């Protein structure tokens, strides 16, 4: 057989040669590595899913509106503890932090509740019922810097910014039981008080 033919047959045999078999131990090692990689990937996916679920749950619980600070607060009727603010309706004055703020109280027909009123929420803006102004239902007002109060008998009252009559605080009582402040004073008080604080209201305005 010629040398050229022999060389050609060797090259053809080399091209079709099967790869060397892999030992059994090597096959088992590779399988173990693949299983570990799959477990690591599954664990990472589970951690990501749990983190997303926790974030969504926290968002649902906290709510998307950061305009209101609120927490349950007991009705303050035992007379203990120093109030954060006091209101003298006869003088139309609120005293808080050594500062006096003029107020407008309720009329004779709709007096402001007295006693220890507990702050249960503060609202940067709140839609207030038109009936509390003696207006028709279509005239509901959005008022800023509203402080929501719990009265000694478990009712609800408010400290509001009287944007609809800024001259009333300190001069006349025109609300239906609310404690009305000038807008700048209402904002200052809103930023100062927290849920759980107490406003002690005494005496009674002369009304209109």
Q: pLDDT per residue over 124-169, tens digit each?
A: 999 887 665 544 455 577 899 999 999 999 999 999 999 989 999 9
How many Å apart are CA 39 and CA 32, to the nearest integer?
Answer: 11
Tens-place pLDDT, residues 160-206: 999 989 999 999 999 989 999 999 999 999 999 999 999 999 985 44
pLDDT at residue number 177: 92
pLDDT at residue number 81: 83
Q: Which residue has the higher pLDDT, 39 or 73?
A: 39
pLDDT at residue number 60: 42
Ramachandran bin of 63, using left for φ above 0, alpha for ψ from -120 to 50, beta for the remaining angles: left
Domain boundaries in the chain? 3-61, 68-202
How many Å apart are CA 104 and CA 109, to the nearest integer?
Answer: 14
Give yes or no for a contact between 141 and 130, defined as CB atoms under 8 angstroms apart.
yes
Strand-pair category, 156-161 with 179-181: parallel
CATH H-level superfamily of 68-202 = L,D-transpeptidase catalytic domain-like (2.40.440.10)
pLDDT at residue number 39: 65
Tens-place pLDDT, residues 67-110: 565 554 444 444 568 999 999 999 999 999 999 999 999 999 99
Give yes or no for a contact between 198 and 81, defined as CB atoms under 8 angstroms apart.
yes
Ramachandran bin of 174, using left for φ above 0, alpha for ψ from -120 to 50, beta for the remaining angles: alpha
3-state class (DSSP) for residue 64:
coil
How many Å apart are CA 91 and CA 97, to the nearest integer?
Answer: 18
Q: Which residue has the higher pLDDT, 114 or 140?
A: 114
Task: Identify the residue whose tokens are 């005239």.
Answer: 139
pLDDT at residue number 6: 60
Q: Which residue has the higher pLDDT, 126 or 26?
A: 126
pLDDT at residue number 15: 54
Ramachandran bin of 145, using left for φ above 0, alpha for ψ from -120 to 50, beta for the remaining angles: left
Asked if residue 8 has pLDDT above 90, the reply is no
């Amino acid at each position: 057989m010629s040398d050229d033919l022999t060389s050609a047959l060797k090259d053809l045999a080399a091209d079709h040669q099967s790869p060397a078999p892999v030992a059994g131990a090597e096959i088992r090692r590779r399988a173990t590595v693949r299983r570990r990689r799959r477990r690591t990937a599954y664990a990472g996916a589970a951690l990501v899913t749990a983190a997303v679920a926790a974030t969504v749950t926290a968002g649902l619980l906290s709510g998307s509106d950061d305009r209101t600070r609120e927490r349950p607060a007991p009705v303050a009727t035992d007379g203990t503890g120093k109030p954060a603010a006091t209101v003298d309706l006869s003088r139309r004055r609120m005293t808080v932090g050594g500062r006096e703020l003029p107020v407008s109280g309720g009329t004779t027909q709709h007096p402001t509740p007295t006693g220890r009123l507990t702050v249960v929420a503060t609202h940067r803006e709140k839609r207030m019922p038109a009936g509390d102004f003696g207006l028709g239902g279509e005239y509901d007002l959005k008022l800023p810097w509203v402080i929501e109060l719990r009265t000694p008998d478990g009712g609800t009252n408010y400290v509001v910014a009287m944007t609809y009559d800024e001259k009333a605080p300190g001069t006349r009582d025109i609300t239906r039981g609310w404690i009305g402040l000038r807008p700048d004073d209402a904002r200052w008080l809103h930023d100062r008080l927290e849920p759980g604080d107490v406003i002690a209201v005494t005496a009674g305005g002369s009304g209109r």
